[in-house]
Amino acid sequence: MGNWIDLKTDADTGIESVRAHFVGHAYDPHWHDSFLVGVTEQGVQQFNCRRVRHRSTPGQVFLLEPGDIHDGLAPTEDGFTYSTLYLQPAWLDQQLGALFEQVPRDSLPSFADTLSHDVQLAQATALAFQAVHQQDLRIVRQSATDALLASLTRHLHWRRRQNPDPRLPLTAQRARDYLHDNLERDIGLEELALACGIDRFRLTRAFKAAFGLAPHAYLIQLRLAHARRRLALGQRPADVAIALGFADQSHLGRWFRRAYQLTPAQYRRLCSNIPD
């Protein structure tokens, strides 16, 4: 069985539901703007995240926050299959605000663990995925996602929103912010280092130590995350490529496929129902 991906988007919540199967190399290091809650159905899903190598087996739930850099690999010949819900941060904030009587001020929801053996959470994840992915009745979808959120509360903690983040080197954070502010420009290392008041060699070392990627790789992943958003809104791949500083549509396509195993046109069609 080869690689395949089945992706749908819920119009009410913006939740993306993805069921996929991979053999061998699945995808390069990348991140998402969403909270990922998924369950491994079959095989062994191996991935690196937060400087730890994880192996998710059938029935385990994997939990990733926005910005968590991760890759994917099937270490066994039969590959792996998983179902994942991509929860939009704005939607999750709204739901948690209704679920908790008092949400800590200036705080962000955070997952306590990357992998969980919680059977109840696995069942709630599978049922929510089924309801959303099969586009069931609205009341069924809402009931299933409510049950998922209730199960998730045992795995959430609140992380104080701080800028700058005391856990990371200030130089790396300045470089990251500069990349975000200039993501569509053809930025060189010398320019980035000058903006941070440090030479480019020390900058690269500090940045990679903080974020797990070199600055150029981070910039590409940042552009890809923005590309997903634009494509989901129905923008044409060629226009997205130009707007985000890629050389052309094929350049965007090469990086997009390496990260997500979909072409930009496929992703746009699956999210927006607009034909190629």
What is the predicted pLDDT for the residue at 166? 72
Q: Is the domain 213-276 a CATH 1.10.10.60 member? A: yes
Q: To 10 degrees, the CA torsion angle through 105, 33, 273, 2? A: -140
Residues 223, 127: Cα–Cα separation, whole Å:
33
Helices H / strands E in the chain, number of each? 10, 12
Place of tokens 């060629």: 238
Cα–Cα distances in Å, from 237 out to 202, 240, 246? 36, 5, 11
For the whole model, what pTM was predicted?
A: 0.86
Residues 109, 92: Cα–Cα separation, whole Å:
9
Among the four given CATH numbers 2.40.50.140, 2.60.120.280, 3.40.50.300, 3.40.50.12780, the one describing domain 4-160: 2.60.120.280
Render each residue's pLDDT in the chain as its tens digit; 276 residues: 689 999 999 989 999 999 999 999 999 889 999 999 999 999 999 999 988 999 999 999 999 999 899 999 999 999 999 999 999 999 998 898 888 777 777 778 899 899 999 999 999 999 999 999 999 999 999 999 999 999 998 898 887 766 767 767 899 999 999 999 999 999 999 999 999 999 999 999 999 988 888 999 999 999 999 999 999 999 999 999 999 999 999 999 999 999 998 999 999 998 875 555
Residue 108 corresponds to which amino acid? L
What is the predicted pLDDT for the residue at 265? 95
Among the four given CATH numbers 1.10.287, 1.10.10, 3.90.1690, 1.10.3470, the one describing domain 166-212: 1.10.10
Residues 96, 261: Cα–Cα separation, whole Å:
32
CA geometry: angle 152, 33, 112, nearest 5 deg:
30
What is the predicted pLDDT for the residue at 162? 67
Domains 166-212 and 213-276 share a fold: yes
What is the predicted pLDDT for the residue at 270? 87
Of 215, 199, 211, residue with least CA distance to 169: 211
